[in-house]
Amino acid sequence: MSERWARAFLTAYRFAGAAAYPLIGPYVAWRTSQGKEDRSRSRERYGVAGRPRPEGPVIWIHAASVGETIAVVPLVQSILDYGVNIVLTTGTVTSAQVADERLGDRIIHQYVPLDLKPAVSRFLDHWRPDLAIIAESEIWPMTILELGARRVPQVLVNGRLSDRSFKSWKKRANIAEALFENLAHVVAQSDVDGERFRALGARPVTVSGNLKVDTLPPPVDERTLATLKRQIAGRPTWAAISTHDGEEVVAAEVHAMLYKRHHGLLTIIVPRHPDRAEALAAQISGMGLKLARRSKGDRITADTDILLGDTIGEMGLYLRLTEIAFVGRSLTSEGGQNPLEPAMLDTAVLAGRNVQNFREAYQRLLDSGGAKLVRDRDMLAGAVNFLLSNEVARHEMMAAGAATVDQMRGALAHTLKSLEPYIQPLVVKSRLKGADGR
């Protein structure tokens, strides 16, 4: 496709998108029935604002889900210190909860409008953002085109392109270039991500490192932690966290392989999507293992085999109950999940080999000895067995992971420096407006 036809395609897409608008009602209704939408705020998905626009400059920051929201919290806090209004959008109920817990009423939270012209236009007409900051890999064509048409600067921060996304965009290189030219700046996570954005036509591109490294460790309720530690009573533990379909059964099978060798072994399984808990509980119980479900408040007794961490927002609790964590979406699924949270909490990190979405973080951890990749269930069982049996090796691995995270910090400062040319004029404008009393 030529550049001319690519631009013609995007122009047609921008205006034809309204044809799909009637379909979003059933779509939102379905997501609400699945617990993925807040019924009381579903109109925000149509671009209908739930709050009035504040006076003065407004920066719109978008983070899709929980991981992205946690990553941008320090960035949001730093920008708030300048005295500029922020509207933060997210796409899930859980990420909205994270925003409320960590930022409260310092920001205005809205659910992101669906990427269809009527919804996006209504959102932008109301909020009239002076700057849009988008986190990670949220490339929404309609939103980018509408912001571009309104000449609103758009900056992609903590930007990354997975192998699959890059391959897909390369097949449509002219469309990618016509779309990405609307971005005023791309701040990429890694050199690989930076080169990929440049190859697709983004300019300028800088590399900051991963904002997730500059976050605080996941929080914990100390009273709850003390209670569970008393129930565990010093038993050996390991965890399989952020697991996807098939990995929970693998973890349960590893437990069955090791519990005779490690008396009193407790395995903690934390599925990425807790809404799968009922099926998982039945599946694991069917293997003859005794289960305690965190969501039910089940007590961990001496004969409990598995603690099923089927709650949201308690990763800090589960990671503080163990020194060994297998990070999921890496053995039976692809892409991997974030290994930085367990590493910063002094946890030895294990994962499968499919960790493309966090390639640089895993490479740094592997190079330092803070992580190990496993091929299959048997190799995972061997790694867990070795770490449970060798305290010195386990603690060396834990320390290496924590040190690696410390060495990787600095992405927040680099990102703020890249954003300075876009934020400073708004700071001046905000102060002048305050001085005028208007």
Q: Are 37 and 93 in contact (CB under 8 A)?
A: yes
Place of tokens 């889900």: 65
Distance CA 30, CA 270 (A): 26
d(CA 278, CA 280): 5
Q: Which residues make beta-bridge pairs with 307? A: 268, 292
Q: Which of 3, 37, 44, 68 is catalytic?
A: 68
d(Cα 85, Cα 106) in Å, to the nearest integer?
9
Beta bridge partners of 268: 239, 307
Concerning whether 68 is annotated as a catalytic residue, the answer is yes
> What single string gives the DSSP state of each residue in 398-435?
HHHHHHHHHHH--HHHHHHHHHHHHHHHHHHHHHHHHH
369 vs 211, 242, 342, 366, CA distance in Å? 22, 22, 14, 5
**Using DSSP, how many helices (H) and how many strands (E) does the chain show?**
18, 14
Give the whole-angstrom CA distance, residue 177 versus residue 138.
16
Residue 96 has which token pair?
């909205």
Enumerate the active-site residues. 68
